[in-house]
Structure 1
């Protein structure tokens, strides 16, 4: 089997969203059942793996990340089509949630990967289109210029300290990231905001249901992005003069999360060399290990006392990182 073949599994998420949105009816709950119901169990059943190959050929992997990127606007169009075609007795929440889970779990991950490609290249612009679809165009500026410089420091708005809940993290990080992006690239961020407002006005002119569905999926996608930010450096604080190392990022080696999220859980490797394509990311023994895969952590993070207890336990098991 080709080494890129397992990562094809990740396409199930966006494809299921696009197809079921076209089909309509209760089929539209399929992505919800997959991501929130089945995938957490598969995180456990599939086990973990430290296998990596920094010399592997990247054409297949490159195709996969671009397919993810292309499917984001397709999903949004399918969502708008579903609103136009009619929802029947189903609440608009269902298609918006299904679309948002896909544009967040698959699309934003692809946008993140593509955002590290050569600026103004076709791949980079595809990543920008994906972020436009979830109203988060400022992400590339803030992520590349602030987060990658200050990760695991107090000044980084995406890194969370011990004891903070995902809810508290959200209300702090979203406005701080936007403010940082505006400070770093005032013109670019202003243009991004104008484009996003223009898109919303256009959707509103078609009708309120279109606006609600689109904004709903964007909110879900943004939540998934910031949930991931929340867990990736939680409690792993470094000093202003301290050099970053693999111990400043949480890692998960679960196969299912790695294969479906383009190795996103191997986060330390990404930070130590951000230009490394996802297929060449490697696990680090120095990185503390999350209590579970990313799909499992989604549910755990929703219960702050449980999240704090499991994270502290994992930190101690990993050698007392982050002052635990």
Structure 2
């Protein structure tokens, strides 16, 4: 049963975030602090996970995927409750009746600086609870329910274009100059966030433009998935404005942009510096891998990225650990934090890239 329950780990990480919003004040940093502490230190202490169990009840894992939308809605709603003047959905009253804690009074004492860890925590959790399951679901291009759920999950981070570009662009061009998500050697993560975001959206638009042209459908119409995705995110933004005013809209927007930035940091660490000839088949060594236990549990095996790119249609629970694949310095979140310090990241990755090129590349990379 542990092999099923472990993938509910990222759902559990939303609980400190929701609790912190309810308690108010300095407790609003509880969500961010919990994610950083549990995942980063968990990876350091819990070691690697090379297990490859055979799942006899995959519907349990599917339920965890689809339930992500519920957790996203809970986070979205409680964030807006925090910013609203009214007691949205009588949440404060409900908490008082259930526990005796005056959440409304605590909310009234919140200071603006308390919202900094809320936005950071929300951005991180929206990427984990929204983008990661959406990544799995939007690979199922022939499953309408999966695609719709995945696109709504992405709408919370204003990134429904990912459902187009990632499947039809990134997986085709990974490791080449045509792939916006692959960061070349020497690019820092802050440059990559902007360049990959811009390039990914342009690529998604062109992919959708070509699809509609093949089907002889009008570009500016309901048939355009890129435009429909923007409308989905706009709907959430309008809902935030209606329920919690401009402050609620601002918090949602900042959190959504941080969630999108988090995705691009993940793209950065997954493919930094790796090169592939355009006509070369995608192999496991064309992605950085990680076998850290907690990162794997908290990301539906996204850490087994080498196998994912080699066999992109496999469901997450069939991905193999590939311990001999190129490995990151640590787990995903730890590597993301390292990437935020470019000099340290380059120092750690230069010998790894040298090793990668000596084993897989045509020429050894030169020293910096």
Q: Which of the five TM-score ranges fits, normalised by the shorter chain? A: over 0.9
RMSD: 2.1
Contact 1:117 1:123 in 2 (8 A): yes
> In structure 1, what is the equivalent of residue 225 of structure 2?
188
Equivalent in the alignment of 2:5? 5
What is the deviation of 1:310?
0.9
1:199: how far off?
4.0
Q: What is residue 33 of structure 2 aligned with on the other side?
A: 33
| Cα distance, 1:78–1:119 mapped onto 2, change above 3 Å | farther
What's the offset of the Cα at 1:235? Answer: 1.0
Per-residue deviation, 1:188: 1.6
Distance apart, 1:307 and its partner CA? 0.5
Does structure 1 residue 309 correspond to structure 2 residue 347?
A: yes
Q: What's the TM-score once normalised by structure 2's chain length?
A: 0.82
Superposition deviation, residue 109 in structure 1: 0.5
Q: CA deviation at 1:153?
A: 1.1
8 A Cα contact 1:25 1:88, kept in partner: yes
Give the unaligned 5+ runs of structure 1.
none
Hey, what does 2:126 align to over in structure 1?
103
| Structure 2 Cα separation of the partners of residues 112 and 165 of structure 1 | 24
| 1:134, distance to aligned residue in structure 2 (A) | 1.3
Corresponding residue of 2:102: none
Aligned to 1:165: 188
Deviation string 1:197-234 (CA, Å, 9 cap, x unpaired) is: 45435544552101111011101211111111011111
Larger radius of gyration: 2
What is the SS of the residue equivalent to 2:3? coil
In the alignment, what sits opposite 2:264? 226
Name the residue aligned to 1:79.
79
Shift of 1:299: 1.4
The 2-side partners of 1:118 and 1:74 are apart by 27
Is the 8 Å Cα contact of residues 32 and 118 (structure 2) preserved in structure 1? Answer: no
Aligned residue for 1:49, secondary structure, equals coil
Equivalent residue, structure 1, for 2:111: 90
Q: 1:211 maps to what in 2?
A: 249
SS of structure 2 residue aligned to 1:313: helix
Deviates more, 1:204-213 or 1:133-142: 204-213
- 1:46–1:285 Cα change, 3 Å: closer
1:53 is the counterpart of 2:91: no
Structure 2 CA distance, aligned partners of 1:201 and 1:311? 43
Contact 2:283 2:310 in 1 (8 A): yes
Match in the other structure for 1:16: 16
Aligned length: 324
Take 1:320 and 1:303, find their aligned partners in 2: how far apart are those partners? 27
Decide which of 124, 144, 155 is 1:121's aligned counterpart: 144
Which segment drifts farther, 109-118 or 299-308? 109-118
Q: Which residue of 2 aligns with 1:135?
A: 158
Report the Cα distance in structure 2 between the residues aligned to 1:166 and 1:273, rounded to whole angstroms: 27
Q: Given that residues 137 and 192 in structure 1 are in contact (C-alpha distance below 8 angstroms), is that contact kept between their aligned partners in structure 2?
A: yes
